[in-house]
Amino acid sequence: MLGRVIPEPDREVIRDAITDGAIRHLLHEEDPRLRNFRLCNACGSCTPYCPARINDPGANGDPGYLARKVTAALQAGRRPGLDLADCVQCYSCETVCPRSVSIGGIINAVYETERLQPIFRRMLLDRGGLPPQAFLPLYTGRGHFRKFVLKAIRYPYPVDGRAIDEVRRLLLHPVDASAFSAPGHRPPRRLLARPDRVFHLNSCCAFNYPGADLSQKMILAALGIRYETSPMQTCCGGAPHYMGGAGFADRLLLTARNLNVIHDAFEPGGEIAVTGICPTCSDSYAAALDMLSRSANREVANEALARIGRKVTEPGAFVVANVLDLYPLYLDELRRLVERRLTGLAVGVHVSCHYRKMNGSLAVPPGMQDLTAVTGAKITRSVMEHYCCGGVKNLFDRHRKGRPLELSRLNRLVRQDFMNHRLDVMIVDCPGCELVYDHMGVPVLHITELLALAMGADPRETAHIQGHLTSLSAALGRIGIL
């Protein structure tokens, strides 16, 4: 009996029953991600912006299909009749919702309860983040194992053993999401001043594109901005969280712990700018600072952090300095630093969903285009500016299911758009987006890599273009860089 294989229809019934139970648990526990699902009035604002198209209008043309399906099911205490695995966790639905209902957050809460990707949580406990091994399946399936090995040897995950021990002790005693209360509408982000010193975050996804990280450090140094790093900093929990392997509270506590690490690296009393190449990191810190601005949430977090001798005391001292916010403050200096104009390079720009989520707007920020224009590259406007790349979660799901080459509808759409406009390279602000474009055969550069190349950086030693899966040789060779 124990060895009997359960038929697929029965497995589906069991999974649905488990999920129904999870939904009832979440509603009972008052998970903050579900705080305002009753505000949904099926206005349809989110419908056109779902990249996975799980919110296509129904047969009757109902414009609020996804929202109505999810929120009506929640009110009935049951699972929505949708394949939630298709959600790519871009949060476009939350970004455009006039009532701030987060369908993506609700789905993420279900992921967390179901533990669809427990491997990522184990990696957090064992390594303090997503180590190179987390990305191995994305290389072996495409015949790029050698590229993986070279990166793993040269750019190992830089986390101190003491930090990993702290993460383990912190997460082995889970805190329920309901222990935290939502802070309400996020206030406008504080305007960033030109800092003379920043804390540079290590990104898990940067393993795939060490050139983005090296380019960032080169640019900061060229601008005269001192940067601090620390081997005691660990993963912010963002990537594991969005892929269903780290809980809402896990992510908040990991980020709160890192805030204490960062605080220790600076003199007390001044503003601390936190920067990095990953918008998921930026969003994690912005969201955590928003939550920790409430004293009640700080008390819950600090009670957990006390187990490892840490505490968050001054959330107001921090400001998130995403590259799309930081570098536009230095446009004149960057123009003077350009040594070779990339004239003749036809590029498209793509701004990540999580940067938009952090800003609460789907509008293309001028910073991305201004920074690209500094290099002399020719920007071609296209629909790709407004689409999600297709999502790292979707990429992992395809490899996990043994269908790595089966591009999603959105992947096919953006790749066709790239070809129709006869572009040379896509420019992105996110190493996760870079990974997705690279895997669909589109030449791609992080905005920091593009800037560094224009500033005279070695394309292999600094931009590390040989680590890309889709060759950049033709595009860069045509303008004389290679």
**Cα distances (Å, whole numbers) of residue 295 to 198, 270, 310, 381:** 26, 21, 16, 45
Judgement on whether residues 158 and 288 belong to the same structural domain of the protein: yes
**Is 1 domain-assigned?**
no
The dihedral over CA atoms of 301, 303, 308, 310, expressed in degrees to the nearest 10, equals 60
**Is 452 domain-assigned?**
yes
Judgement on whether residues 19 and 151 belong to the same structural domain of the protein: no
Tell me the backbone φ, ψ of residue 83, rounded to 5 degrees: -85, 95
Last residue of a domain, one of 298, 325, 352: 325
Judgement on whether residues 160 and 290 belong to the same structural domain of the protein: yes
Each residue of 455-478: b (16+ CB within 10 Å) or e? bebebeebbbbebbbeebeebbee
How many Cα atoms sit within 13 Å of 284 on the Cβ side?
Answer: 32
Last residue of a domain, one of 325, 346, 378: 325
Query: 414 and 389 in contact (C-beta within 8 Å)?
Result: yes
pLDDT tens, position by position, for the chain (482 residues)? 344 444 444 445 445 554 566 666 666 667 787 777 778 877 878 877 777 666 555 545 554 566 667 777 777 777 776 677 778 888 888 888 888 888 888 888 877 766 555 777 888 888 888 888 889 888 886 678 999 999 988 887 778 999 999 999 999 888 888 888 876 656 566 678 899 999 999 888 888 999 999 999 999 999 999 999 999 999 999 988 888 778 889 999 999 999 999 999 898 778 899 999 999 999 999 999 999 999 999 999 999 999 999 999 889 899 999 999 999 999 999 999 999 999 999 999 999 989 988 888 877 788 899 999 999 999 998 877 777 888 888 888 888 777 877 887 778 888 888 899 999 999 999 999 999 999 989 999 999 999 999 999 999 999 999 999 999 999 999 999 98
Judgement on whether residues 171 and 314 belong to the same structural domain of the protein: yes
Task: Count Cβ atoms below 10 Å from residue 440 Cβ, excluding itself.
Answer: 22
Domain ranges, residue 423:
333-478
- 209: tokens are 């594109």
Judgement on whether residues 243 and 186 belong to the same structural domain of the protein: yes
Last residue of a domain, one of 93, 114, 135: 114
Each residue of 398-431: b (16+ CB within 10 Å) or e? bbeeeebeebbebbebbbebbeeeebbbbbbbbb
Provide the 3-class DSSP secondary structure of residue 446.
Answer: strand
Judgement on whether residues 213 and 73 belong to the same structural domain of the protein: no
* Confidence (pTM): 0.90
Tell me the C-alpha distance between 420 and 412, whole Å.
Answer: 12
**Is 13 domain-assigned?**
yes
How many Cα atoms sit within 13 Å of 404 on the Cβ side?
Answer: 14
**Is 312 domain-assigned?**
yes
385 secondary structure, DSSP code: G
**What is the predicted pLDDT for the residue at 77?**
73
Query: 411 and 390 in contact (C-beta within 8 Å)?
Result: yes
- 236: tokens are 């912010």
Of all residues in the chain, the percent with pLDDT exceeding 70 is 86
**Is 2 domain-assigned?**
no
Query: 113 and 26 in contact (C-beta within 8 Å)?
Result: yes
Judgement on whether residues 35 and 171 belong to the same structural domain of the protein: no
- The CATH number covering residue 377 comes to 3.40.50.11810
Residues near 149 by Cβ (< 8 Å), separated by ≥ 6? none
Judgement on whether residues 22 and 60 belong to the same structural domain of the protein: yes
Judgement on whether residues 251 and 395 belong to the same structural domain of the protein: no
What total number of domains does the chain contain? 3
**What is the predicted pLDDT for the residue at 189?**
65
**Is 286 domain-assigned?**
yes
